[in-house]
Structure 1
Amino acid sequence: MSEPVFPLQITQLVKDFTTKRALDDFNLTLAQGEIAALLGPNGAGKTTLIGCLLGFLSTDEGSIRLFGEDVNKLTPHTRNRIGFVPQTMTGFTWFRVGELLSYLAEYRPANAPQDNRWLDWAGLDPRARIKSLSGGERQRLAIVLALRFRPDLIVLDEPVASLDPQARRDFMRLLPDYAHHHGATVLISSHIISDLENICDRFVIMRRGQVVLDVTKLVLQGQVRHLSAPPPESWGVQTLAPAEDGGVWVSGWLPELDNAACQSSLSVQMPDVENLFLDLSR
């Protein structure tokens, strides 16, 4: 029986720079249709990871496979299945918007399916020179270029940081709708955690080049709790991190422990992704 082919499979990845190990035995596998948040403080290795999985940076150890292919040996067909939105779009400043869209479309098969909702959302003047666009307009263009041809794997690095509130809200509504409709896999890095909490079904938290928590939204809501004090070992829960308020984050929580916590005068709270992230990142 053949092994499943995942859109993204990273195994024991190591990336060293001169004075720092940016990625240290990093592992991550995403299945078709997953929308995963990549979280971490500045310097955690998120941008390095994205650079490696897109082939922009070489790796020192480990492997990256996209749709079953080595990232350094991707076929043109597989490359066309990947969309990337950088934090800031640079280059192509001499083009007009419409010219760039037409120019890059020439690299796609003539019958390649398109999703023109992104063009409608961006609302860009096709006659405008890219050098005249604002930062937010360039970012909307970057999103159109990445998603217009219906990629199956979407990698986004701080995609909404320069968007105005309305454009950001509309994008965060369109992205999960697109992913669910097309069965696309999404890996999104952003510091706007409230956005990710609304659309992601999985949360991957990094610190110092390693994964410190990889959990689905269902497990997060069902088994992760904030306690006002450490619980007895006999409860069988795992301590994730101390909380800034003196409490503790735990995983493996069971409903029957609610009564035990009440009898022990322990306060139990549902998880808040932002506070959990901040405590795990300290």
Structure 2
Amino acid sequence: MTGQATPDREAPAREAPDHQAPVQIAHLRKILGGRAVLDDLSLTLRPGEIAALLGPNGAGKTTLIGCLLGLLSPDAGTVRLWGEDASALRAETRARIGFVPQTMTGFTWFRVGELMAYLAQYRARPDDIEDRTWQEWAGLDPNARIRTLSGGERQRLAIVLALRFRPDLIVLDEPVASLDPQARYDFMRLLPAYARRTGASVLISSHIISDLQEISDRFVMMRHGRIMLDMTAPEIASTVRRLSAPPVAAWGVEIIADQGVEGVWVRGWHPALDDAAAGAGHAMLPGDVERLFLALTR
């Protein structure tokens, strides 16, 4: 069972030394196995923003994260973090990034406390203040051998290792899939509180859309290596609708997904169209992230 999740209220927000976007991806293309896994993909992540990265298996999410972290080289396009090429970051810039993979592997001979102390020696910013919020949340025994930890405990350790020195950019690839319900619940409340407190930007990929709806400012939906939709939560709620039949051309809205007998999804909606839709006999549902995602990616 996890420890009590209590935010560290004493850690001050750290201002970025420049005003460039944490993530700037332009016309990214990556070919693997003779196939374009990422195809002309562009994405910008702003300071303090929590962006949910959504897509079915094979959409290219993990490849995108690999390019973002400099683990994969693009075949075309650019990936820049605070203006620097992702494949040639300075040590000081790389220290500003926290990455949580879907599964933590390796280091099995270490004890938990030993691994934390060992990796801390490689910090490019030795004056970083350690944020103990995550260690309290994880509730791990520092004397436990990593090889004896359960899958959920290893994932909690991966989160601690990524976030303990207050990174400015957090990239998470299915971070809660192996966590128990209480640990997942606490994490999904600590993460946005951390982002607000420090001004960190977050890119989180997960199949648990209900979690992401609670914490995300923005939703980036991918399919076949392309971004199908990139909108904030308020934009989806106010400008996206599902109609029981195709819209009248004069309404000026864009069809973004056609579900046949189940209706169509449109964007560009505004309240003045509500009466027109009712008069035309159209049943209408408001924008919903999970239903929209399923419609776009089926």
The offset of 1:94, in angstroms, is 0.5
Residue identity in the other structure for 2:196:
H
Contact 1:244/1:279, CA 8 A, preserved across alignment? no
TM-score, length basis structure 1: 0.97
The residue that corresponds to 1:222 in the other structure is 238
Partner Cα separation in structure 2 for residue 117 and residue 14 of structure 1: 38
Residues 45-60 of structure 1 mapped to structure 2, 5 A cutoff: 45-60=60-75
Residue 186 of structure 2 corresponds to residue 170 of structure 1: yes
Other structure's SS at 2:269 match: coil
The residue that corresponds to 1:161 in the other structure is 177
The residue that corresponds to 1:37 in the other structure is 52
TM-score, length basis structure 2: 0.92
The residue that corresponds to 2:263 in the other structure is 247
Partner Cα separation in structure 2 for residue 93 and residue 181 of structure 1: 33
Query: Quick one: percent identity of the two aligned structures?
Result: 65
The residue that corresponds to 1:134 in the other structure is 150
Q: Deviations over 1:197-243 (max 9, x none)?
A: 11001000001000010001111111011111111010000111013
Residue identity in the other structure for 1:87:
Q
Residues 86-235 of structure 1 mapped to structure 2, 5 A cutoff: 86-108=101-123, 109-235=125-251
The residue that corresponds to 1:266 in the other structure is 282
Partner Cα separation in structure 1 for residue 153 and residue 174 of structure 2: 15
Partner Cα separation in structure 2 for residue 133 and residue 258 of structure 1: 55
Cα RMSD between the aligned structures? 1.1
The residue that corresponds to 1:10 in the other structure is 25
Partner Cα separation in structure 2 for residue 243 and residue 67 of structure 1: 40
Runs of 4+ displaced beyond 6 Å: none
Residue identity in the other structure for 1:34:
E
Contact 1:36/1:203, CA 8 A, preserved across alignment? yes
Contact 1:12/1:25, CA 8 A, preserved across alignment? yes
Residue identity in the other structure for 2:38:
L
Partner Cα separation in structure 2 for residue 242 and residue 174 of structure 1: 37
The offset of 1:110, in angstroms, is 3.2
Shifted more, 109-118 versus 12-21: the winner is 109-118
Q: Deviations over 1:116-171 (max 9, x none)?
A: 10000000000000000000000000000000000000000000000000000000
Residues 56-95 of structure 1 mapped to structure 2, 5 A cutoff: 56-95=71-110
Partner Cα separation in structure 2 for residue 211 and residue 220 of structure 1: 15
Other structure's SS at 2:142 match: coil
Number of equivalenced pairs? 280
The residue that corresponds to 2:5 in the other structure is none
Residue identity in the other structure for 1:71:
A
The offset of 1:18, in angstroms, is 2.3
Partner Cα separation in structure 2 for residue 110 and residue 185 of structure 1: 22
Contact 2:188/2:211, CA 8 A, preserved across alignment? yes
The residue that corresponds to 2:34 in the other structure is 19
Unaligned 5+ runs, structure 2? 1-17
Partner Cα separation in structure 2 for residue 153 and residue 4 of structure 1: 14
Contact 2:71/2:87, CA 8 A, preserved across alignment? no
